[in-house]
Amino acid sequence: MNNDLWKFNTHSIRTGSLQSEFGENSEAIFLTSSYVFDSSAQAAARFAGSEPGNIYSRFTNPTVTMFQDRLAALEGSEACVATASGMSAILTTIMGLCSSGDHIVASRSIFGTTLQLFSNILTRWGLEVTFVSITNLNEWEDATQKNTKLFFVETPSNPLTEVTDITALSKIAHQKDIKLVVDNCFCSPALQKPLSLGADIIIHSATKYLDGQGRCLGGAVLADKKTIEPMYQFLRTAGPAMSAFNAWVFLKGLETLSIRMEAHSRNAHHLALWLESQPQVERVYYPGLASHPQHKLALAQQKSGGGIVSFEVKGDQKEAWDLIDSTRLISITANLGDVKSTITHPATTTHSRVSPEDRQKTGIKNNLVRIAVGLEDIEDLKADLSSLSD
């Protein structure tokens, strides 16, 4: 089911639904690895691609297709492929679009595992990667080479919530026939629509806000059909497909995406303001704060600040760990995007495998704490962090 005139929430609840002969109102989970053909001729036609239809769930699955169609409508994208995780979405993008000898320019401020994939694994396969500042766009232009295929950015970034001007960066990319990839994990389409700002490809870790309740791993890549096609060929051949069960969980997650994102932003904004006034806090990073270096850009590019707040406590690693260990309500876990608030120490968890020099370059200090603000009552969250008031 799809209607191009629908608005965001209607798409998030209705688009993509395929009703079976039983007339179910909630989408079905099609737990099947393969599909039965009427005849050998039909099997041959499906394999030849002359007749549409499912063959094998590594290629397509109806529940996964529903999720892909719904997310594509929310991002305003022509096509979408779902993957087993956010990391496999990134791998699928690169395997689909790059070859040995190609070059990627990526922001230094990206998810720690993405940094590992780019710098330690893909380089073994002959891919060149240059890391640049997330906000100084001159560095992107200067880093461009003849063999540059992709620009890769995450905005707002993890964990410092720095914001990149997507439109300006896409102009630099397009002058040189380079595609701009945006990891839209922190905002989700409820707060930011990168394709409408000039990006070519969107990456999602569905594990985070698309699920919203910390249950399943999944990912997605969105772009026009022509760009997605080689990624789909990689996916159906190499196999990092999304499971039907996970796709169903994400379909349910999408149904509440915009109200959750509004509530995450509201709680996070409130907490960020409160943190700024606490004696044991040195500095707060949140795009919704007037003190954020790209506050104006964030307001123009995003609907609200999102759910992630990072801050430096007075002191060093010990004081950061003491604060984290003093919490009783907020979960000490590196995940984010959950209705349950989570707290982590990036330097020794998500970014622990980044070299100390690179951590310094990206500004991830030992006294930095990241909270992915959930949907608990704000007064309870503040009470849980009350040691900052001393």
Residues that bind ligand PLP (CB under 6 A): 85-87, 111, 113-114, 154, 158, 183, 185, 205, 207-208, 217, 219
In the complex, least distance from residue 186 CB atom to ligand PLP, rounded to whole angstroms: 6
Q: Give the nearer residue to ligand PLP in terms of CB position, either 90 or 324.
A: 90
In the complex, least distance from residue 208 CB atom to ligand PLP, rounded to whole angstroms: 6
Give CA–CA dist 311/361, Å, rounded: 17
In the complex, least distance from residue 7 CB atom to ligand PLP, rounded to whole angstroms: 27
End-to-end Cα, the chain, rounded Å: 55
In the complex, least distance from residue 51 CB atom to ligand PLP, rounded to whole angstroms: 34
Q: Give the nearer residue to ligand PLP in terms of CB position, either 144 or 246.
A: 246
CA triplet 126, 127, 133: central angle to 5 degrees?
A: 150
Tokens of 199: 């990006």
In the complex, least distance from residue 381 CB atom to ligand PLP, rounded to whole angstroms: 21
CB 91 within 8 A of CB 211: no
Q: Give the nearer residue to ligand PLP in terms of CB position, either 92 or 278.
A: 92
In the complex, least distance from residue 292 CB atom to ligand PLP, rounded to whole angstroms: 18
Helix axes 86-97, 225-238, angle to 10 degrees: 110
3-state helix, strand, coil in the chain (%, to 5): 40, 15, 40
Q: Give the nearer residue to ligand PLP in terms of CB position, either 174 or 340.
A: 340
The residue at minimum Cβ distance from ligand PLP is 86
Tokens of 80: 């979408």
CB 63 within 8 A of CB 28: yes
| Residue from 278, 253, 246, 150 nearest 202 by CA | 150
Q: Are strands 103-107 and 148-154 parallel, antiparallel or unpaired?
A: parallel
In the complex, least distance from residue 111 CB atom to ligand PLP, rounded to whole angstroms: 4
Q: Give the nearer residue to ligand PLP in terms of CB position, either 16 or 307.
A: 307
φ, ψ for residue 150, nearest 5 deg? -135, 145
Q: Give the nearer residue to ligand PLP in terms of CB position, either 243 or 278.
A: 243
Q: With 0-12 CB in 10 A as exposed, 13-18 as middle and 19+ as buried, what is 213? A: middle
Q: Give the nearer residue to ligand PLP in terms of CB position, either 189 or 278.
A: 189
